[in-house]
Homo-oligomer: A and B are copies of this chain.
C-alpha cells in the first residue's frame, strides 16, 4: 500500500521550500528547507527534542579536469562541481507505505515496513540539473538518500566528497572505532564526542591501518547517547556502487560529515544517472531496546532478488580453525619454501612441518564431532596450497582455491562427511587479491558444487590488489557484491570476512548469511577484547546484518591450548553461551576445540540446542556497553531462547516472560554465571538450573562483567 501525493511548487515560492514530515506515530519530525545560497538542509526531532540540528546536504563533484579521464572527457563534459548549493525546490512528493514482508531468515518471521516519505526534487538553475532527496521517516528513525534522475546535464559524474552533515545537539557519548579504509577490527572506544580527537591521536591500535584519516574520523554504525537519554545510531543502508561511509567530526561545532572511502585516485563514487547513493540512516529512541529492534536497515534495502531461496539454510558449524588461531597448528604445510609460485611449486616433493591443521585425519575428527553433536557443517581453513606465503606482499597470484595440500584428501573428506550427514564449509582466503579471486571464482564455486559445499567463508586479509585500492571503496565494494551474486548462481551461501561492513544487503541477497567486518572472537587469542565488547556490537556492527562472531570459547586460558600463547578470552562460559542468542545469526560456529567442549558437556548442550532462525525477537533489556538481554522464539517451534550479555560489574537482569504463550508451562534451562565467576580469574564457573515457568514468571538473574546467561525454554508436554 503506497499513497502518493504530489505538490508542484512554484519556483519563486520561497516559503514553500520548507517541508515537514512526520513519522507514522508522529514522534519523529523531519524538516527540510533550502537555506540561503540554495543549500539543502534538514533537521530531525524526536518527541520534541532536537536529534539532528539543521544540517546541510549535498555533494561535491570533481571537475572534469580533476577527474583526468584523459582528453576525451574534457571535450564531453564540464561538470560544475557543486551539488550542494544553488538549488531551488521544484517539486515535493509525499507518500506513505505500510507493508509486511518475510525474510528468508532472521530475527523475526515477518517485518513491517511502515514509513512516511518525502521526495524533494531540487533544481540547480545555473546548470539546469536536478537532484532528488528522498526521506523515509519510520517510527524508529530516518533514512534518506540522494537520487540523480536521468537528465541531460548530469549523466556521468564523479563524487569528490559527499557533504552530508549530521549536526549533533551536544557533546554526546559515543561508542566508536577510528575511521579506517582497511579494517574494522577494533575494540570500541566510549568517550564524549569532544574526546575522540585525543584518543585517536594517542595512538591507534597496532597491526591496523588508518591511512589518510582525520583524527576525528570514526566508522559507522556509530552509536550515540545524549545526556538527556536519547539513543541515536548513524549508519547507512544498501551500500551498492559507492564507497562506504565514515563520519568525520568537526569537534568545535560538533557536526559529523560523511567521509566516503576513496579509491586509489581519491574519488568516492563514479556514478551514471539515473542512480542514487546508499541510504543514510538515523535510528533514534529514548529506549535503547528500540535501536536493537529497529528494522530500518533491512527495510531500506531492495526486496529479495533471488527467485529461488529454497537452498539457503542456516548452519551451525565447527571447524579446523581455533587450533590455528591459537597457534597450536598452522594453515601452512611446510617450512621448506622461501616463497610459493602457484602452479609451479610442487608440494609433493616438500617436507611437511607436521603442524598442518587441515589434514584429512584431523578433519575427520571434526566431522565425527559434528555428526555426534548434531552440527550441520565443518569449516576447514588451510586446505589449499599457498599458505606458506600469502600475506604481506600484496601478492597477485596468491591462491588458486582449488588445489588441496597433499595431506588433505578432498575426495575422501567429501565421502566421509557425506556418510556422516555433515556438510563441509569451504574456505577462500583471497589475501585481498581481488582480480585473482575473480579469475578463479567460477572454478572455485564449481569445485564447491562438485563436493557439495553449501557455503564459503571468504577472507580479505591484507592490502588490496590492485595496490592503492581500499577495502571499502566503490570498486572493491562492487567486488563483494559480484561474489555474492555469482555465488547465488551456484546456490552457494557466503560468509565474507574482512569485507565491507554489512548494510542490510542480506535482504536482497539472503545467501549473504554472514560477515565478520568487526572484531571477532579471534582477538581473544590475539591479546583479548574488552569484556563489554559484545554489549556494544549489537548497537553498532549488527545494525547492518549478522556477524560470524564465532563464539563458544570454553577454555579462556589460551595457554592451556598452546603454552606459547598467553592471551585470555575475556568472557565467562555463560557469556559465551548467551552470544548464540544476543548475536543473532543464521550462521553460528562453536569455535572452541572439541576436547574443550567434551570437558563441559552440560554447558555444551546449550550450543547443541540453540536455534539459528527465529519467529520473533523481544529485546528485554539493553544499554550499549552495559548489557543486552533478548528473547527469541525458534522458527517453526514453540521453543524460546533468551540470552544476556553483560559488560558492567554486578548487573542483575530482571525480566518478565510475558512474551510466552499464555496458559503454557515451559521448562527453562538456565545457564548462568556461578557465584564467584569472574571473566579473568574464574570464567568457567557456571551453574545450570532447570525450572518451570509461564508467561507470568519474572526472573532475576545476576551476571558478572564479561558474563551473562542463556536460557532454553521448552513447553512442557501436557
Residues of A bordering B, CB below 8 Å: 68-73, 75-76, 150-152, 155-156, 182, 206-209, 211, 263-265, 267, 270, 272-273, 338-339, 341, 391-396, 435, 438-439, 442, 462-463, 466-469, 475, 478, 482
Contact = CB atoms under 8 A, between A and B. Distances in A.
Given A68-B211, A69-B462, A263-B467, 19 more contacts: A69-B463, A70-B182, A70-B462, A70-B463, A71-B206, A152-B338, A155-B338, A156-B393, A263-B466, A264-B264, A264-B468, A265-B468, A270-B467, A272-B393, A273-B338, A396-B478, A438-B438, A442-B442, A466-B475
17 contacts: A69-B463, A71-B209, A72-B463, A73-B393, A73-B394, A76-B392, A150-B339, A155-B338, A156-B339, A264-B264, A272-B395, A273-B338, A396-B478, A435-B438, A439-B482, A466-B466, A468-B468
Contacts of A462: 69-70, 72
Contact of A438 (B439, B475, B478): B439
A154 to B, nearest CB: 9
Contacts of A71: 206-209
Contact of A270 (B206, B339, B394): B394
Nearest to A68: B211
Contacts of A75: 392
Contacts of A339: 150, 155-156, 272-273
A466 B394 CA distance: 17
Contacts of A182: 70
Oligomeric state, in copies: 2
A402 to B, nearest CB: 15
Q: Which of A341, A395, A467 has the most CB of B within 10 A?
A: A467
Contacts of A69: 392-394, 462-463, 467
Contacts of A478: 396
A338 B466 contact: no
A484 to B, nearest CB: 14
A392 B152 contact: no
Given A396-B270, A438-B439, A469 B467 contact: no
Nearest to A441: B439
Contact of A267 (B211, B270, B392, B467): B467
A672 to B, nearest CB: 41
Q: Which of A72, A267, A339, A442 has the most CB of B within 10 A?
A: A72
Contacts of A72: 207, 391-392, 462-463
Given A150-B338, A209-B71, A468-B468, A156 B395 contact: yes
Nearest to A478: B396
A61 to B, nearest CB: 13
A594 B150 CA distance: 41
Nearest to A157: B393
Contacts of A438: 435, 438-439
Contact of A70 (B68, B209, B341, B395): B209
Contact of A467 (B206, B265, B391, B394): B265
Contacts of A76: 392
A478 B439 CA distance: 12
Leading 8 A-B pairs by shortest Cβ distance = A72-B392, A156-B393, A264-B468, A70-B463, A264-B264, A155-B339, A265-B468, A69-B394
Contacts of A475: 396, 435, 466
Nearest to A394: B69
A339 to B, nearest CB: 5
A481 to B, nearest CB: 12
Contacts of A156: 339, 393, 395
A362 B469 CA distance: 45
A282 to B, nearest CB: 31
A672 B179 CA distance: 72
Given A272-B339, A438-B439, A467 B155 contact: no
A211 B273 CA distance: 29
Q: Which of A70, A150, A478 has the most CB of B within 10 A?
A: A70
A393 B71 CA distance: 11
Contacts of A208: 71
Contacts of A393: 69, 73, 156, 270, 272
A99 to B, nearest CB: 24
A53 B462 CA distance: 45
A151 to B, nearest CB: 7
A317 to B, nearest CB: 29
A394 B391 CA distance: 31
A653 B393 CA distance: 58
Nearest to A75: B392
Contact of A466 (B155, B264, B273, B442): B264
Contacts of A152: 338
Contacts of A396: 270, 475, 478
A135 to B, nearest CB: 25
A478 B397 CA distance: 11
A462 B69 CA distance: 8
A274 to B, nearest CB: 8
Q: Which of A150, A341, A393, A439 has the most CB of B within 10 A?
A: A393
Contacts of A392: 69-70, 72-73, 75-76
A296 B475 CA distance: 41
A439 B435 CA distance: 9
A544 to B, nearest CB: 24
Contacts of A391: 72
A76 to B, nearest CB: 5
A393 to B, nearest CB: 4
A69 B465 CA distance: 10
A394 B76 CA distance: 13
A477 to B, nearest CB: 12
A166 B338 CA distance: 34
Nearest to A475: B466
Contacts of A207: 71-72
A445 to B, nearest CB: 12
A470 B155 CA distance: 25
A207 B270 CA distance: 23
Nearest to A206: B71
